[in-house]
């Protein structure tokens, strides 16, 4: 399983890539493999604010729906429009074109609540 070292992870299987004060968020390789083929991704519109650990959307697989939890507090500044037409990008490229939203990070100290790649690997026994 792929767990990139340049990302932070939540215990709810979301990841965040931090560049300056912008966080790009998606679900992990582990999460997408557990869910199976993703058929729909529901994410909020630009402008919505969320607190760390709040539900910000959901992913629908063939047999289940799973909530998405914010790894960091912030305001949604971009959504991945590619997922509207091709939600399986979450399966095939969870850390690249399968990202879901970008946020303006509200509180960078919350990063301390997230897991490193090594800690996430231990959590998922990868």
| pLDDT tens digits for range 65-105 | 999 999 999 999 999 999 999 999 999 999 999 999 999 99
Mean pLDDT within 97-116? 97
| pLDDT tens digits for range 20-62 | 999 999 999 999 999 999 999 999 999 999 999 999 999 999 9
Which positions ≥6 away from 21 have C-beta within 8 Å?
104, 105, 108
Identify the pLDDT of residue 32. 96
- Asked if the model's pLDDT at residue 11 lies above 90, the reply is yes
Identify the pLDDT of residue 1. 79
Whether pTM > 0.85 for this model: the answer is yes
Residue by residue, DSSP assigns 86-123 as: -TTHHHH-TTTTT--EEEEES-GGGGGGSBPHHHHHHH
Domain 8-121 has CATH 2.40.50.100: yes
Identify the pLDDT of residue 75. 98
Identify the pLDDT of residue 126. 65
């Amino acid at each position: 399983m792929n767990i990139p070292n340049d990302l932070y992870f939540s215990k709810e299987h979301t990841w965040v890539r931090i560049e300056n004060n912008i966080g790009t968020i998606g679900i992990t390789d582990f999460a997408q493999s557990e869910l199976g083929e993703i058929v729909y991704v529901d994410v909020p519109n630009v402008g919505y604010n969320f607190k760390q650990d709040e539900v910000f959307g959901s992913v629908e697989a063939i047999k289940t729906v799973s909530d998405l939890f914010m790894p960091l507090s912030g305001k949604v500044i971009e959504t991945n429009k590619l997922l509207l037409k091709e939600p399986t990008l979450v399966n095939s490229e969870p850390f690249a074109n399968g990202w879901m939203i970008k946020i303006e990070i509200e509180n960078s100290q919350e990063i301390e609540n997230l897991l490193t790649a090594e800690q996430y690997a231990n959590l998922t026994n990868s």
